[in-house]
A and B are shown apart, each in its own frame.
Chain A
Amino acid sequence: MKTLAALKVLVVEDEALVSMLVEDMLSDLGCVVVGPAAELEEALRLAGSADIDAALLDVNLGGRPIFPVADALKERGVPFAFASGYGEAGLSEGHKGATVLQKPFREADLRKVLESLAAQVA
C-alpha cells in the first residue's frame, strides 16, 4: 500500500491537450509522471521496464488498441486503469471488469482511481 505522494504513474495518451491535463492533475496530487507515451512502442517499452507504481492508459492510441500494454503491466503486476471516452464498452474481452476512468473526468475522480491503484501496490 502506497500513498499518492511520489506515486510513479505511467501515462499513455496520444492527444497533447489530454496528456497535458492529466500531467497537471497528477502533479497536483503529488504523483510523479512517467511518460507521457503517445505511441504504442514507447508505451510498451515503459510498461516493460520503467520504474513505475501504476499506470493510466488511453484505450485507443492513434487507432491502435492499448491492450498489449495492459497485458505487459499485468505480467509485471503493475496496477493500471483505463481512461476512455468509450467507457467500459470500449474494453476487450480479456480486460472486462478492469478499472475505467470515463472521459472527461474530474481531479477527484482521478484521485479515487489512483488511490485504488495505490492500494494494490505491494
Chain B
Amino acid sequence: MAAGGIKGLVRAMSRAEGDEVEDLLARLGAAEEALAEEVRRSRALNRIAEAIGAGHDAETLVQTVVDGGVELTGAQFGAFFYNIVAPDGESYTLYSLSGAPRSAFEGFPMPRNTAVFAPTFKGEGVVRSDDITQDPRYGRNAPRRGMPEGHLPVRSYLAVPVITREGAVLGGLFFGHPQVGRFGARAESLMVGLAAQAAVAIESVRAREAAHAELAQRRDAEERLKFALDSGRLGSWELDVETRAYLASDICKANYGRRPDEDFTFDDLVASVHPGDRDRMTAAIEDAIRHGAEYDIEYRVRAPVGETRWVHARGRAAQTADHGGARRMAGVSLDVTERKRAEERQKLLVNELNHRVKNTLVSVQSIASQTLRTTETPEAFRDAFEGRIMALSHTHDLLTQQNWEGASLREIFDFELEAFAARDRIGFDYDRDLQLSPKATVALGMAVHELATNALKYGALSVPGGEVRVVWAVESGETDESPALRLTWTERGGPPVVAPTRQGFGARLLEKGLAGELSAQVSLAYDSLGLACTMRLPIRALEP
C-alpha cells in the first residue's frame, strides 16, 4: 500500500486525538523520506558499482568513485588523493575532484602528512568530523595551522583510506561541506564500502594497464630486435630437437638462397651445406644438442641458383631439466661471403708480399755478390753497393706510389735520377711516354742507374760539358717481328772511351740480364765519341 494511503487512513481513523495524530504523521513522513532517500542511495550505489566494474581506465574509474561518493554523502566537494611514496617522504597527488573546479586546488600545495591527514594516508582509519575546524587534530601543524587562505570552506569532513586487500594504501577519499554536521554514520559506512570497491577496481585496472604496458614493451623489444637483426643482415632460426621442425626468418632463408615464401626445412638446410662442410656442421649441431656445446660454425652454402656463399651460424641448445637434454635450439645466421673473400684476398696479398720480399732479398744478395766480384776495395764495394740498393729502393718507391701497377718510362728515369748531380745534362727526346709493367720497371730502373753511374764515373758526365741524350720511339714490327721499343742512351763530350777489359755488373745486367728478363737486344758501343747503348725491347715484355 502506498504511503499516502496510509496517511489518509490514519487521518480518518483518529479525528479525536489531533496532537497524537500530527506527531504520528510527522514521524511517518520522516520515515517515508528516509525510505525514499535510502532507495535513491541504493540505486545510486548500484549505478556506481556498475560503473566501477565497467572496466574503464584508472582516471575515469576514480572520477566515477569520487562523483559517486559526493552523490552518496551529499558532500559539496569530494576528492581522491593518490598516495605516492617519494624517496624524501610521502607526497600526495590530486587525482580526481568533484563538486569544485580543479582550479580551486591549483594554488595550494598538495596535502602534507599532518595530524588530520595522517590517519587516512597511513591507512589507520576513517576520519569523520561534524566540524573539522574544532577537531583536536586540526591546526596543529606549522606553518598554516589550518586550511590555507582561500581553501574551499570545509567544516563537515569525511576521509576514508583506500586500501588494497594486501594492505597497501592507494590513497584517500575526501569529502567536505561548508556546513557543520552533514556526514552521519550512514555516510561513513557507505564510503567505507565504496573505498573497498574502489581499491579492488583500481588494483585490477592497474594490473591490466601494467599487462598492457608490458605487452607493448615486449612488442617494442621484438620490433627493435627485428630491426637490429634486419639491419645487421642477421637471420634467426629455431630448431625443435625432437621433431627437427625448423623455423627460419626471411633473412635466414635469404642466407641460403631461399625466398621468404619458400619452404625451408631442416633437411633443406643440411642439403644446402657444401658436401665438404656438411659432416662438420651436423656434428657441431649434435654436439650442441647433446653436450650443450656452443654452436659456432662457418660453412659454405650452395644456393639453388648462383654461386657458393659462406654462412656463419651461431646458436645454443636450451637445456631442460625435466627432459634430460635439449628440447629446442635457436640461433642466428649471417652471410659472411664478403668477409671470407676479403680474408682470402688478404691471405693472397700477404703471400704475395712475402714472395716479393724474398725475391727482393735475393736481388740484394745478387747485387752484393756481383758487386763484390767487380770491386777492388771495401770502399769501392760500399760505394757501388749502396748506390745499387738505393736504385732498387727508388724503383720500389715509384711502384708503391702507383699501387704496384707499374710506371711510365719517363717516371723511371725521373725517379732514378732524382738525386743525381748531373741530371740537367741528360736530355730526352721522345714522342710518347710508355706505361710499363712492375717487372719491367724494376729491371729498367736498375739499368738506368747503371748507365747513369757509369757516365758520372767514367763517361760523359765525368767532365764538365759532357752530355747524355736519351731517345726512344716505338718501332712497328717487321713482318716477322712484334712492335718494340727502341731506346738509345748516347754520351757525347766526355773523355775518350775504351772498352773495359772485363765485363762489369752494369754491362752484364744490360747485355745479359735485360736480354733474359725482357727478351731485349742490348748493345753497348764503346764509340770514341762516347758510350752508346742501344736497346730493342719487345712491347709485349714491357706492358703491364
Chain B contacts to A: CB under 8 angstroms: 351, 354-359, 361-363, 365-367, 369-370, 373, 439, 442-443, 446, 508-509, 512-514, 516-519
Is the CB–CB distance between B356 and A85 below 8 Å? Answer: yes
Q: Which residues of B contact A36 (CB under 8 A)?
A: 516
| Cross-interface CB contact of B363 among A17, A39, A102, cutoff 8 Å | A17
10 cross-chain CB contacts under 8 A: A14-B516, A15-B363, A15-B439, A16-B516, A17-B366, A17-B513, A19-B517, A20-B513, A60-B355, A104-B362
Interface class of chain B by DSSP:
helix
A51 sits at the interface (CB 8 A): no
- What is the minimal beta-carbon distance from A88 to any residue of chain B, in angstroms? 12
- Distance in angstroms between the alpha carbons of A6 and B217 in the assembled complex: 88
By a CB distance below 8 angstroms, the chain A residues around B517 are 14-16, 19, 38
Closest 8 pairs (CB-CB, A-B): A16-B513, A85-B358, A21-B366, A16-B517, A85-B355, A17-B366, A17-B363, A38-B516
Bound Cα distance from A16 to B512, whole angstroms: 8
Chain A positions within 8 Å of B516 at CB level: 13-14, 16, 19, 35-38
The answer to whether A103 and B359 touch (CB under 8 A), given A24-B369, A39-B519, is yes
Let me know if A119 is at the binding interface, CB within 8 A. Answer: no
Closest beta carbon of chain B to A79's beta carbon, Å? 23
Q: A16, B354: Cβ atoms under 8 Å? A: no
A50 → B minimal CB distance (Å): 15
**In residues 1-35 of chain A, which contact B (Cβ within 8 Å)?**
13-21, 24, 35
Task: Decide: B366 and A86 in contact? CB cutoff 8 A.
Answer: no
B365 pairs with A21, CB closer than 8 A: yes
Q: Given the complex of chains A and B, what is the CA–CA distance between A11 and B116 in angstroms?
A: 112
A20, A39, A103, most chain B CB atoms within 10 A: A20
- Interface 1/0 per residue, A103-121 and B, CB below 8 Å: 1100000000000000000
A68 near B: Cβ within 8 Å? no
Q: Which residue of chain A lies nearest to B442 when distances are taken between CB atoms in the complex?
A: A15
B358 contacts A103, CB within 8 Å? yes
Complex contact B357–A85 (CB within 8 A): yes
Specify the chain A residue showing the minimal Cβ separation from B514. A16
Q: Give the docked Cα–Cα distance between A122 and B304 (Å).
A: 55
Across-interface contacts of B365 in A (CB, < 8 A):
21, 104
Chain A residues positioned under 8 Å from B508 (CB to CB): 20
CB pair A18–B361 under 8 Å, yes or no, is: no
- What is the total of A-B residue contacts with beta carbons within 8 Å? 81
Rounded to whole angstroms, the CA-CA distance of A89 and B439 in the bound complex is 23
State whether A21 touches B369 (Cβ < 8 A): yes
Q: Of A21, A60, A62, A86, which one neighbours B362 at CB under 8 angstroms?
A: A21
CB A112 to nearest CB in B, in angstroms, measures 17
Contacting residue for A85 out of B354, B442, B443, B509, CB 8 A: B354
**Chain B residues in 8 Å Cβ range of A90:** 351, 355
**Nearest Cβ in chain B — how far from A77, in angstroms?**
27
> Is B361's CB under 8 angstroms from A104's CB?
yes
Among A15, A20, A21, A37, the residue within 8 A (CB) of B512 is A20
Contact with B along A52-92 (1 / 0, CB 8 A): 00000000101000000000000000000000111001100
Pairwise interchain contact A17-B446, C-beta atoms closer than 8 A: yes
**A17-B513, A20-B366, A38-B519 known; A103-B443 Cβ under 8 A:** no
Assess the A86–B373 pair: CB atoms within 8 A.
no
Point out the residues of chain B lying under 8 angstroms from A15, CB to CB. Answer: 359, 362-363, 439, 442-443, 517
A37: which B residues are within 8 A, CB to CB? 516
Cα–Cα, bound, A41→B439 (Å): 18
- Assess A62 versus B439: contact at CB under 8 Å? Given A20-B512, A21-B369: yes
In the assembled complex, the CB of B362 is this many whole angstroms from the nearest CB of chain A, namely 5
* A20-B361 Cα distance, complex, nearest whole Å: 14
Kindly report which residue of chain A lies nearest to residue B352, judged by CB atoms: A86
Residues of B with C-beta under 8 A to A14? 439, 516-517
Q: Provide the residues of chain B in CB contact with A20, threshold 8 Å.
A: 366, 370, 508-509, 512-513
CA distance A39 to B508 in the complex (A): 19
* Least Cβ–Cβ distance between B544 and chain A, in angstroms: 11
- Contact of A18 with B373 in the complex, beta carbons under 8 Å: no
Residues of B within 8 A of A85 (CB): 354-359, 362
Residue pair A86, B370 in contact (C-beta under 8 Å): no
A33 to B359, CA, bound (A): 21
CB distance from A38 to the nearest CB of B (A): 4
Q: A16-B443, A20-B513, A104-B362 are in contact. List 11 more A-B contacts (CB 8 A).
A: A14-B439, A15-B363, A17-B366, A17-B509, A21-B370, A24-B370, A37-B516, A38-B519, A60-B355, A86-B358, A103-B359
Minimum Cβ distance to chain B for residue A85 (Å)? 3
Residues of A within 8 A of B351 (CB): 86, 89-90
CB-CB < 8 A to A24: which residues of B? 369-370, 373
A19-B508 Cα distance, complex, nearest whole Å: 12
Residues of B within 8 A of A84 (CB): 355
Chain A hits for B439, CB < 8 A? 14-15, 62
Q: Which residues of A contact B443 (CB under 8 A)?
A: 15-16
Query: A39 vs B518: C-alpha distance in the bound complex, in angstroms?
Result: 9
Asked if B354 contacts A86 (CB within 8 A), the reply is yes
Q: How far is the CA of A103 from the CA of B513 in the complex (A)?
A: 19
- CA gap between A73 and B439 in the complex, in Å: 27
Q: Which residue of B354, B366, B369, B373 has the most chain A CB atoms within 10 A of its CB atom?
A: B366
Q: In the bound complex, how far is the Cα of B361 from the Cα of A16, in angstroms?
A: 14
